[in-house]
Amino acid sequence: MSKSTFDKSIDIVLNFISNPLKRKADDISNSEIQQEQQPSQHNIQRHKHYYKKQQRKPKQQLNKVQHSSLNSNSTYSGSTPNSYFNFDFKKPESLLRDIYRYSIDKLSIFAKTYIFDSNNSIQNHIRTPLKRKPEDIKNRIQYKLSKPNLNLKYIRIQSINNSPTPNKRYQNIRMIDNDNNNNQQQQQQQQQDLNSSRNVKHSKKEDINSLNDNQQENEIIEIIDSDSEQEENIDSTSNSNNEYFESKSTKLSNIDSKRLQANKAKNRYSIENLVKSYQNTLKLNSDSNTASTTANNVDSSAYKYTQSLNYPSKYGNSDYLNSSYSTPQFSKTLPYHTNSGTKSNLISPIKSRDDSSFLSDSNISSGELKLSDLDTSVYSLYQSPKSTTTTTTTAQSDRASVIRNLRPKVEELDLKGSLLDDFRDKLDIERQKTRDTETNSLLKKLDDIHKSNKYSILKQLNERIELEKNAKPQAKQTTPEEETIIKDTLKGNEQDVVSKIGTLAITKYDIKTLNPGKWLNDEVINFYMELMKQRQAENPGKYLKCHFFNTFFYPMLCNNNGTYNYDRVKKWTNSIDIFSLDKIIIPIHLGNHWCLAAINFKAKQFEYYDSLLGTGGDCIPKLKKYVADEMNNRSKKGIVDLNEFKSIFPKDIPCQSNGYDCGVFMCKYADFSSRGLSFTFTQKDITLYRRMMILELINKKMN
Amino acid sequence: MSAKEEPGLNNNNGNEGGNAGEDQPVDVKPSDEQINIKVINQANQEVYFKIKKTTPLRKLMDSYCSRQGVSQNSIRFLYDGQRLDQNATPASLGMENNDIIDVALTQTGGSF
């Protein structure tokens, strides 16, 4: 092969791979992924069944069973590709799975690769994408059928014929793997590679195949077309023997038919080769039992590895892929993959990729110990293309440099084995880079999704916190201007009235009770209650509907001597209906102490707040009686059921730590209570609150 | 009740305030111009005043304070739970005969 053709084909492969890679990101959130979940579930069920069967039998026996099922049912005839396989399972996927199993047994990850792709494409082409994005598919297949692919094929054949050394093989496979469209070719090539590496008796057939390869170049795809013409109208779920080819053809039937017709013959050859190679492998499998013992180990790793290999060309079909060819581990995680839609598609590729690199490495080392010499060569084969392929997929961004790296190395590999290690190191670095970039892009996508989610709990929480912040009265330092206002106001005669609301007037003397360390008098508190009334009237809806009794209500109710006399306060509520309100706020004066009682009609409870945590004696019972009498007096009997009312004496409220602040505490209880807030202030805030209350009284406006 | 004796007491000194306020026994029928007002203090003692509807209540309050010997700053006059405005009249407040004015002591508190 000439260097120029080599370069050219690599270029083309990279080109092709870069396209699906770009498209993958766009399609990741597409709804077609969900539509493909159903078939994948179906497959999983079948697969589970299959796997159970496999587990029940000894592995050696299993090998034989598989072998017979494939081999006995499959017949080969060069002229009619439709009669190739008579397989037990009715779905094309199951055939692929059989092949997949075998290939795993023999550590042929490339067979898996092939299955992966073909299965993927079957799904894609049959189910949705053709309907949704015919242009994409068409372009893709046109590309596939274009000349460069044939060149690639040619390169591979040449190398096999000339030197079937591992290094040469490695080079070929790398390119094959990159070409995700030529599934059949890949399969065939891989099998051939394996066979030749093992020097088995079927090498003759293989030679024949490879001899034909030159002719295949121009004929492979024609056969596909003939299939498509014949079976275009056949239901893909029918029980015909040719289901695999059906689906393949159905997929292609939507493409330019003229092109397909021209390429008909080619496909026939490739299929023939495929069958041959499979038969070879099957016999190989039955021959070497040692390999099957490690089959399960390699199974998972190889599977994951395959996934990572094909990831760029998957078009976001990880759901389907995972389920249809899941190892036991994957079938367990199925609900996650199938149910969680877009996110799982975003995440799973990363995960599987990371896993694959780790698992495959470890399994390779363990596998090499167990396997016979014959199989170790396969292992080396298995390792090298893995890294190479990944690199080529990554190289989409920096294609030229990768080519530069690849070509000379590959040539030197024939001479020096040590260079292979260097090469792998480089590839590892490259792979790491790609993984990082892909991870980042996926994370970014996740971020976007998260941002666009308007029902985010965090958002709601933040909003609520903001609301609470706005609602909460802030204890803030008064400004110097405000201080001067206070000073000016308090100058002069103590009996001078500072401000007045209705009949209530507050004098400088009263205001001075708000100075630190002073006891508050009734005037200040009543004025403050009046301010809260006013505030509530000016801002309807912002605060709870409250009525604020003045400080004389309770003494009057108690008839000034601790007894109970409803008549004395009977007329106090002439102008209001307390039962239509949320809360009734009642300042309680106990000799030298201020506390607050509240009748909460909303929460149906009597509340008693004492900054010294007292319970007010018979205060609550009296208030209960008052409510009952009020109901009778206002002829609203039964409007509230007092039996439902609880009495609470909260102990977790802010408390005074001195002998003079209870009045301020009481006012603030009333303030917060009328806002419907919990009491979040502390003794520390009280000095500031005193200052603010002075301002509020002077300005006759509550904050 | 001691309250019954007090009207008599006050009645003797009732003319001091001129037309400011006149203490009347409960059974005295007021004229159209005048109404009887009962003032109940913090000790539940009742004092009766006869007052013209158009007379500002300030006179009643002053009279009460002077007779009881208490400072105006130490007591609060309440009518139906509202503080009495000194310039209000029984007419402006819609007072009726035998209405009650409550007298409350000033309150102050810090601890206990």
DSSP track, A383-399: HHHHHHHHHHHHTTTTH
Residue spans of the domains in chain B: they are: 30-105
The Cα-based distances of A641 to A7, A26, A75, A545 in angstroms read 91, 63, 89, 20
Q: Does A145 touch chain B (CB under 8 A)?
A: no
Helix (H, G, I), strand (E, B) or coil at A433: helix
Tell me how far apart the terminal alpha carbons of chain A are, to the nearest angstrom: 88
**How much is the pLDDT for A478?**
79
B107/A522 Cβ within 8 A: yes
Please give the angle made by the CA atoms of A497, A499 and A500, to the nearest 5 degrees.
100
**How much is the pLDDT for A308?**
42
* Distance of alpha carbon A580 from alpha carbon A293, whole angstroms: 82
CA distance B27 to chain A (A): 21
Check: CB of residue A522 under 8 Å from CB of residue B106. yes
Of chain A, the percentage scoring pLDDT greater than 70 comes to: 39
* Distance of alpha carbon A429 from alpha carbon A390, whole angstroms: 11
Q: Which of A67, A177, A593, A595 is catalytic?
A: A593
* Distance of alpha carbon B107 from alpha carbon A552, whole angstroms: 9
Interface of B with A (CB under 8 A): 40, 42-44, 73, 76, 78, 80-85, 88, 100, 102, 104, 106-112
Fold of B30-105: Ubiquitin-like (UB roll) (3.10.20)
Provide the 10 A C-beta neighbour count for residue A679.
16
- The partner residue sitting opposite B81, judged by closest CB among A569, A658, A660, is A569
B110/A593 Cβ within 8 A: yes
Mutation target to probe the B interface, by most B beta carbons within 10 A, among A497, A503, A633 is A503
pLDDT band for position A470 (cuts 50, 70, 90): low
pLDDT greater than 60 at residue A38: no
* Touching B: A residues 594-613, CB under 8 Å: 594, 612
Check: CB of residue B36 under 8 Å from CB of residue B100. no
Of chain A, the percentage scoring pLDDT greater than 90 comes to: 6
* Among the ranges given (A9-13, A139-143, A223-227, B34-38), the one the predictor scored with the smallest mean pLDDT: A223-227
- The partner residue sitting opposite B112, judged by closest CB among A502, A569, A590, is A590
The Cα-based distances of B112 to A23, A559, A601, B76, B107 in angstroms read 79, 21, 30, 22, 12
- The partner residue sitting opposite A663, judged by closest CB among B81, B109, B112, is B109
Mutation target to probe the A interface, by most A beta carbons within 10 A, among B74, B84, B87, B107 is B107
Mean pLDDT for the stretch of residues A385-391:
44
- Looking at every residue in chain A, the average pLDDT score rounds to 61
Whether this model's pTM surpasses 0.90: no
CA distance A689 to chain B (A): 15
Of chain B, the percentage scoring pLDDT greater than 70 comes to: 71
- Residue A49 falls in the annotated catalytic set: no
pLDDT greater than 90 at residue A618: no
* Distance of alpha carbon A326 from alpha carbon A557, whole angstroms: 80
What is the amino acid identity at position A437? T
- CB contacts of B83 in chain A (<8 Å) are 502-504, 526, 550
| Rg, C-alpha atoms of chain B | 14
CA distance B39 to chain A (A): 12
Q: Which of A610, A661, A671, A685 is catalytic?
A: A610
A556/B111 Cβ within 8 A: no
- Residue A619 falls in the annotated catalytic set: no
**How much is the pLDDT for A270?**
65
Mean pLDDT for the stretch of residues A532-549:
88
pLDDT greater than 60 at residue A435: yes
* DSSP run (H or E) holding A229: helix A221-231
- Residue A522 falls in the annotated catalytic set: no
Q: Is A16 left (phi over 0), alpha (psi -120 to 50) or beta?
A: alpha
